[in-house]
Copies of this chain bind each other. A is one copy, B any other.
Amino acid sequence: MTTLASRLIARLEQFSPLTLPERIALEDAAVTVRRFAPREELARQGAPVPAVLAIYDGFACRYRTLPDGRRQIVGFLMPGDISDPRMFLFDCMDHSVATLGPVEAALLERESVQRLENYPGLTRAMAGSAVVQDAIGREWLMNVGHRSSFERISHLFCEIYARLQAVGLVREHGCDVPLTQADIADAMAITPVHVNRTLMELRRTGLLTFHSKRLVIHDLQALAHAAGFDASYLRLRAKDPSANAPGRAALLAGASPDTDLR
């Protein structure tokens, strides 16, 4: 059975190996798993930085809003993700954070994080995680700036699929993606109605289906090609599918990019 800490450890170890004491410290810090309702605000732009968020299950998002109400989602926090501890360097948030669907997560207080930062491996892993989230932001900028709506949505689903695969949440070419079409719209800067049209076109072309929060990718190769998706920015090591059931610890194997890029 997977616990929050084990998922977090597995994810963070993709960035830097952790010593036993480091894993224990992480487990201690992330014991209290809380449940959050959908659309719950966890941090507000301009308000004090509340805590670092470590996601066990579900999606959250960072977003900014314009005075007129338009919302731009600037990143997703997915299972195994941890938000950037360096936010504590400033006294207030420059963006908001909210859950999308229901979420299980741990909140790490400032002191808790500071304790973790005494461990170099953990510091390095969290930094790596943050760098990847930056890279994702850069890719999104590319997406929103230079790709058609069709490419954009394809690309987003490729990314989500790859990230969920990295934490073992993909089965049978499908995964649960608790996003509404409006969420996708806010992330990719497309109108909800146009998201709808584009999703139907994706369905029609047989590349993927996304229905009742379930994403199924029928032709990953073709989808990645259509999207211009190259997973290298995610810095994923290939996930051993059997690693879900404990027993086989031999990860870190090759950086064998089977779901290859370019």
Residues of A near any B CB (own CB < 8 A): 15-16, 45-46, 62, 64-67, 70, 72, 74, 84, 86-87, 89-90, 94-95, 124, 127-128, 130-131, 134-135, 137-142, 144-146, 188-189, 228, 232-233, 235, 257, 260-262
Contacts and interface: CB of A to CB of B under 8 A. Distances in A.
A146 B67 contact: no
Given A89-B15, A89-B128, A261-B45, A138 B66 contact: no
Given A89-B124, A232-B94, A141 B141 contact: yes
A-B residue pairs, 10 tightest by C-beta: A145-B189, A74-B138, A94-B135, A72-B142, A94-B233, A70-B146, A144-B145, A72-B145, A86-B127, A137-B137
B141 A140 contact: yes
Contacts of A94: 135, 138, 232-233, 235
A29 to B, nearest CB: 20
B235 A127 contact: no
B131 A84 contact: yes
A146 B189 contact: yes
